[in-house]
Structure 1
Amino acid sequence: MIKIYAPASIGNVGVGFDILGAAIIPIDGTLLGDCISIQSSNTFQFNCHGNFSDQLPKDIKKNIIWQAWNWFNEIIKKKIQISITLEKNMPIGSGLGSSASSIVASVLALNQFYKTNLNKKELIDIMGKLEGNISGSVHYDNVAPCYLGGLQLITDDKNHLTQKLPIFDNWLWVIAWPGVTLSTSTARNILPLTYDKEKCIKNSRNLSTFIHALYTKKSELAIRVMIDTIAEPYRIPLIPNFLKIKDAVTKLGASTCNISGSGPTLFSICLNFSIANKVKKWLEKNYIKNKKGFVYICKIDQLGARKIRI
């Protein structure tokens, strides 16, 4: 049997809409991500369990795991019957790369099980296209960090689609999912079709300065330019009281408060555990809507997707 774990991820990372993505892991050791197990079988079987398995489509052909299996059958020109088990630990429509987590885990598990020996570029290409089946457009800001770990910059270069960036080890990332979902397509459709020149220049300046600050180890500068001018201003109405929440957590000492991916998950960067814990407790009291919601203090997951011992 093969078992692969693929971590949660923060798309956009504030300043890099559709360009930056970061893999995260809670500091308490919780595996915040999906797991895929594969073993031989006489017939195709798909089993699913986990806290969020009830959110998956009932029609198996609409399930991204089935689509990944079908993709590999086409690669090898043969339909191999297997048993696939998905541990769906990630809420759908949360802004934490739920679909990417399932896609990355299944593609890597199938590649190992089928011994197709696809290279990194080929694997990322499949992952991005499968992600596009869900969101409506091919994008890599969740699948790349989920697969490769760390903070990833998505490029337009055909030979090097993604580049790993340095990140500050002392940053603690407090992520809060309220327990309600927000459709990625809804959050994307609310954005304008065109942007004025000044806004584009400001975004380019902030992103360039952010990457410069990472390489020159200027933590305060990096935080000051983590400003989302492309998506956040238009998505504020989708997240009730967002500006009040942002103001409250920064007053507690958080350095940032941004929307993770399409939302409704929020993330804050804190520079020490004491502040991170205060922010965590405040968000648990004021942002979580039900028992399914959660708040974690996280670090960047530098490993990305990996085998789990069975």
Structure 2
Amino acid sequence: MKQVVAYAPASMGNVSVGFDLLGAAVAPIDGSRLGDRVTISESVGELGLHCEGPWAHKLPLEPKDNIVLQCIEYYCQQMGFEPLTNAMVTLEKNLPVGSGLGSSASSVVAALCAVDGWFDGAASQSQLLHMMGELEGRISGSVHYDNVAPSYLGGMQLMSPVAGKECLPLPSFDNWYWVLAYSGVSISTAKMRALMPTDIDMATTIEYAQNLAGFVHACHRQDEGLALALLKDCLAEPYRAEAIPGFTDAKAQLQLLDVAACGISGSGPTVFAVTKDLETAKSAAQKLQDTYLQGEGGFVHICKLDTQGTVVEKK
């Protein structure tokens, strides 16, 4: 029986310093699955959908409203293929909706990579990226690639406006640990984007450009001290911090532990902290476990960057 399975890891949009232009894929060091998996299997009749996993109950009840089926339909339209039939799609939903961990992006990337695998890799990387951005935009309210690109390609990715060079991989720091804490409170990406002003003053614009440019330079030079000094958010965090329950206190607690950097993952509520050693990462994880988790399903993971990105298996 023909079967294609695609797993797309969770991702952090913005990574503090690069609003809408920087993203990173993450993987827990304990080997647990932090990302969505889509399986397409041969079946009989019309295309069907089955949802499972710890967050399946948060998905739309109508299959046609699920972004995964929309991805498959869109892929076939864009590639000029007949609509997919005689197949069953299974979505294993491992990421909470509205978490700031690229939940919708993970589903979109896994679905498009799975259907592309079903059609023997007919789409190019650039074509897939554009489709991922379009489908992600249906949920978040605007087309941006800072979650889909790292989830698809792995590592840390810098977005580019140049056709064929839509994202550029950045060297990372292998010794960094990324502590991620999802509070359990769901926050709408569209709502958080609405908090941002439509006009940014010149001083903030220059500071943002300096920070991002310097961070990119530091990554390529492997200047860890400079990279950490610039890993801060002067653009979005000032407008979003108060809208994320417990974030300001959590950041203050993390800074007391002398973490190297901390901020909001995507539009929140997930908070991240960067440490240079495992012991500090464990201390930060315990502090967040004790003080930041608020709702059912909240969790903390110590992660490294996922350099592999989406994995596709054919059976």
After TM superposition, the score normalised by the length of structure 2 is 0.96
Cα deviations by residue, 1:228-286 (Å, 9 ceiling, x for unpaired)? 11100000111133222212111112111100000000000011011000000010010
Matched, 1:235 2:234: no
The alignment-based identity, stated in percent, is 42
Quick one: distance in 1 between partners of 2:219 and 2:119?
39
Which residue, out of 71, 80, 88, partners 1:76?
A: 80
SS at match of 1:257: strand
Equivalent residues of 2:75, 2:131 under 8 A apart: no
Equivalent residues of 2:29, 2:304 under 8 A apart: yes
The alignment of Structure 1 onto Structure 2 pairs a total of residues equal to 310
Quick one: distance in 1 between partners of 2:52 and 2:67?
15
What is the CA distance between 1:308 and its match in structure 2?
5.0
After TM superposition, the score normalised by the length of structure 1 is 0.97
What is the CA distance between 1:128 and its match in structure 2?
0.5
> Gaps spanning 5+ residues in structure 1: where?
none
Counterpart of 2:308 in structure 1 is 303
**Aligned AA (2:12):** I
Quick one: distance in 1 between partners of 2:76 and 2:264?
37
Quick one: distance in 1 between partners of 2:134 and 2:217?
31
Q: How does 1:1-310 map to 2 (within 5 A)?
A: 1-43=3-45, 44-74=47-77, 75-81=79-85, 82-115=87-120, 117-307=122-312
Cα deviations by residue, 1:90-110 (Å, 9 ceiling, x for unpaired)? 000000000010011110110
Cα deviations by residue, 1:208-238 (Å, 9 ceiling, x for unpaired)? 1111111111111111111211100000111
**Aligned AA (2:5):** K
SS at match of 1:205: helix
Quick one: distance in 1 between partners of 2:135 and 2:94?
19
SS at match of 2:261: coil
Quick one: distance in 1 between partners of 2:121 and 2:226?
44
**Aligned AA (1:199):** T
SS at match of 2:205: helix
**Aligned AA (2:18):** G
Quick one: distance in 1 between partners of 2:247 and 2:204?
21
> Gaps spanning 5+ residues in structure 2: where?
none
Quick one: distance in 1 between partners of 2:89 and 2:221?
45
Root-mean-square deviation (Å): 1.2
Quick one: distance in 1 between partners of 2:59 and 2:211?
38
Equivalent residues of 2:73, 2:84 under 8 A apart: no
**Aligned AA (1:176):** A
What is the CA distance between 1:77 and its match in structure 2?
3.7
**Aligned AA (1:51):** P
Quick one: distance in 1 between partners of 2:265 and 2:210?
21
Quick one: distance in 2 between partners of 1:309 and 1:40?
12
Quick one: distance in 2 between partners of 1:142 and 1:276?
24
Quick one: distance in 2 between partners of 1:109 and 1:78?
16
What is the CA distance between 1:61 and its match in structure 2?
2.1
Cα deviations by residue, 1:124-162 (Å, 9 ceiling, x for unpaired)? 011000001111111100000000000000011112000
Quick one: distance in 1 between partners of 2:76 and 2:222?
46
